[in-house]
Amino acid sequence: MPEQRSTPTIGWVPAWADLQERTAEPVNGGFVVGDAGQAGNGQMGEGQTAGGQEYVAAWPGPATEELATKPVGGAGARLTLVCSEAEAIGDPDGLNRVSERVLLMAPTAELNTAVQLPENSQVALAPMETYDAVEITVFDRPAARGRIQVRDDFAAVAITELPDGPQQAAFEQGLLAAMAEEAFLHGAEYLHMVVDPDVADRYEASGWTVAGRLLSFTKS
C-alpha cells in the first residue's frame, strides 16, 4: 500500500456501533464490530454492514496489517479501513473492495440548525439501550426518526427514517438540530455521521465536512 500523509481517528467507532445495536471491542489499535444482521431497519441501513463481523482500523496505522488477515477467518466478515483519501489505498492481498462510505463531522456549536418544521409538530428524545432515539411527530404521528450516542467530547448520529415529499429536508434538519442541541448540552464538541458517497455533498452544503472514507473489503 502506498504511504499516506494523515491518519483519521477512529475513537467514534464504538458510538457508531451503538447506533446500530452492535458491539465494538478494541483489538490491536482497531475495533472488532459485532454482527450487523440484527441491526434496525430504515435509512441508516444504507451505511451499515450487512451481516458478519467488521474489523475497523485507521489507515495507515499499526492495526492494518493485523486486521487485514481477519476476514479470511469467518463468513461475511469485512475489513474496513478508515482513510483520508480512497484513491490512496489499493486492495489488500486476497481481498476485494465491496463498499465505500463517507465519514462526516460537524462542530455542534457551528452546525446550521435553522429549520422551520410544520405546525403541530413536536420533537422528542427517548433513551434506548445503546442510544437515544430522536423522533419528530406531526399531529402525534411519527414523521421522522434518528439516533444519537454521546461519548466524551463527540457524538455519533444517524438518520433512520424520513418522509417522502417536499418537507423531507425540513424534517432531516429538524432531527439534526435536535441531536446537535442534545450533544452540545452533554459537552460534545462534534457530531460524526457515516453516509453513502452520493449524499455527502448535500451534507457538506449545510455545515458538515468530510473527515474520512470507510473502505470495506472481503475475502476474494
> Tens digits of per-residue pLDDT, 21-37?
999 999 888 899 987 65
pLDDT at 41: 35
Please, what is the end-to-end C-alpha distance for the chain in angstroms?
17
- In this structure, which amino acid lies at residue 20? Q
**Among 118, 97, 94, 103, CA closest to 12:** 103
Answer whether residue 83 shows pLDDT above 80.
Answer: yes
Contacts of 87 (CB under 8 A, 6+ apart): none
Measured CA to CA, the distance from residue 52 to residue 46 in angstroms comes to 16
Answer whether residue 66 shows pLDDT above 70.
Answer: no
The residue among 179 and 64 whose pLDDT is bigger is 179
Answer whether residue 40 shows pLDDT above 50.
Answer: no
Measured CA to CA, the distance from residue 73 to residue 63 in angstroms comes to 17
Mean pLDDT of 115-124: 89
Element containing residue 25 per DSSP (H, E): strand 24-27
C-alpha cell at 166: 417536499
Answer whether residue 43 shows pLDDT above 70.
Answer: no
Which residue carries 447506533 as its cell?
19
Mean pLDDT rounded to a whole number for the chain: 83
Region for residue 186 given its phi and psi (left: phi exceeds 0; alpha: psi -120 to 50; beta: otherwise): alpha
| Other beta carbons less than 10 A from residue 136's beta carbon | 24
Contacts of 153 (CB under 8 A, 6+ apart): 187, 188, 189, 190
pLDDT at 48: 46
213 within 8 A of 88, measured Cβ to Cβ: no
